[in-house]
């Protein structure tokens, strides 16, 4: 390792060592000034570091699959406020600590849209986490047993945006309802939640083992600073099936 490479290593500039020789050659050929050459090298390092950081955030978000809004067919759902979806993609809701609630029947693209917003947030520099309501409950329930609850709870409160998918998909017991309440109230006005559910608000009592008071307290905190996106229509999975039927029949 030559002295230049040693300096770069010490400064943790890990991309420049890969490119400086070739860049120096083309700078000499193209009569690039010293300052322009230096700027070019540093610009490449910054771009590389930015990309690495985005990749790290995407990894830490723990997406089950990556979905982006480019692959979302806005013509499919019978009813969806496209303007609102596009507005949410500008990420203004994050510094404002607003929540996003996505409601609608199964297969209508709730998770797809929620994931797309979360992915955009990763690219925009925000730490995020993808999880499901059941995973939050199970994870924190287990943490209570082995005394890691406070630190586990922090993993749900620290990210700028947490996507809690599939609330109401399975009912939660009293303990589970308390756990979800804790996460939601800890994040209240401190960080954004994107939550998807196929249950309308009026049915949330049933999700929380019949505890209407707790359901109201949760809804209250969620919707205080919130955009609600309601999707109506048939399952997109059904669309595929209909197509296949036409092809085979
Ligand atoms: P939900 O969360 O509402 O149950 P998903 O978002 O999981 O629905 O959607 C089910 C599947 O259909 C996913 O693979 C998703 O990418 C796809 N999908 C749903 N709606 C659309 C759409 N309008 N355009 C493209 N793909 C869609
Ligand atoms: Mg879903």
Summarised one tens digit per residue, pLDDT across range 76-104 is 888 999 999 999 999 999 999 999 999 99
Quick check: 118 pLDDT over 90? yes
The helix (H) or strand (E) run that includes residue 216 is helix 212-224
**Spatial CB neighbours of 163, under 8 Å, sequence gap ≥ 6:** 114, 115, 117, 118, 128, 129, 130, 131, 193, 194, 195, 196
| Protein residue closest via CA to atom 16 of ligand 1 | 112
Ligand 1, CB within 6 Å, residue ranges? 67, 71-73, 76-77, 104, 106-112, 196, 236-237
- Atom 23, ligand 1: residue with shortest CA distance: 73
**Helix ranges (DSSP H) in 15-102:** 16-29, 34-61, 82-88
Cα separation, 18 vs 15, in Å, equals: 6
At 187 the three-state DSSP class reads: helix
Cα(107) to ligand 2 centroid in Å equals: 7
CB of 171 closer than 8 Å to CB of 77: no
| 226-230 and 99-103 beta bridge pairing | parallel
Name the residue of 63, 104, 108, 112 to mutate for ligand 1: max ligand atoms within 8 A of Cβ: 112
For residue range 148-171, list pLDDT tens digits in order.
999 999 999 999 999 999 999 888
Q: pLDDT digits over 168-186, tens only?
A: 988 899 999 999 999 999 9
Q: Identify whether the C-beta of residue 221 lies closer than 8 Å to the C-beta of residue 188.
A: yes
For 193, the enclosing helix (H) or strand (E) is strand 192-197
238: helix, strand or coil: helix
- How crowded is residue 159: how many other Cβ atoms within 10 Å of its Cβ? 23
pLDDT at 139: 97
DSSP 106-161: TTSSHHHHHHHHHHHHHHTT--EEEEEHHHHHHHHHHHHHTT-HHHHHHHHHSSSE
The pLDDT value recorded for residue 65 is 93
Provide the pLDDT confidence category of residue 238 given band limits of 50, 70 and 90: confident
Place 239 in a pLDDT band, splitting at 50, 70 and 90: confident
Give the predicted TM-score (pTM) of the model.
0.90
Residue 243 reports pLDDT greater than 60: no
Q: Which helix (H) or strand (E) holds 240?
A: helix 236-248
Q: Which pLDDT score, from 0 to 100, does residue 249 have?
A: 39
Q: What is the pLDDT of residue 77?
A: 85
User: pLDDT tens digits for 22-80?
Assistant: 999 999 999 999 999 999 999 999 999 999 999 999 999 999 999 999 999 999 888 99
Task: Quote the CA–CA distance of 154 and 189 in Å, as a whole number.
Answer: 15
- Region 109-114 average pLDDT: 97
Q: Residue 248's pLDDT band (boundaries 50, 70, 90)?
A: very low
Average pLDDT of the chain, as a whole number: 94
Length in residues, the chain: 249
Q: Which helix (H) or strand (E) holds 220?
A: helix 212-224
Average pLDDT over residues 216-226: 94
Band of pLDDT at residue 123, cut at 50, 70 and 90:
very high
């Amino acid at each position: 390792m030559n002295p230049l490479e040693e300096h770069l290593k010490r400064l943790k500039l890990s991309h420049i060592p890969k490119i400086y020789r070739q860049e120096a050659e083309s700078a000499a050929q193209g009569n690039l000034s010293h300052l322009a050459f230096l700027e070019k090298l540093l610009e490449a390092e910054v771009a590389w570091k930015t990309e690495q950081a985005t990749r790290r955030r995407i990894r830490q978000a723990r997406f089950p699959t990556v979905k982006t809004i480019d692959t979302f067919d806005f013509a499919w759902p019978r009813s969806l406020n496209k303007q609102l979806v596009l507005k949410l993609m500008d990420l203004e809701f994050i510094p404002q600590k607003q929540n996003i609630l996505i409601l609608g029947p199964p297969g209508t693209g709730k998770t797809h849209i929620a994931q797309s917003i979360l992915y955009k947030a990763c690219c925009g520099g925000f730490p995020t986490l993808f999880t499901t309501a059941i995973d939050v409950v199970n994870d924190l329930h287990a943490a209570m047993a082995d005394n890691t609850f406070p630190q586990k709870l922090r993993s749900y409160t620290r990210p700028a945006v947490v996507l809690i998918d599939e609330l109401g998909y399975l009912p939660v017991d009293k303990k589970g309802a308390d756990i979800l309440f804790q996460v939601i109230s800890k994040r209240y006005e401190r960080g954004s939640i994107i939550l998807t559910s196929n249950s309308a608000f009026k049915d949330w009592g049933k999700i929380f083992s019949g505890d209407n008071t707790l359901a109201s307290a949760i809804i209250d905190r969620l919707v205080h600073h919130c955009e609600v996106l309601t999707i109506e229509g048939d399952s997109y999975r059904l669309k595929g099936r209909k197509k296949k039927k036409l092809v085979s029949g």
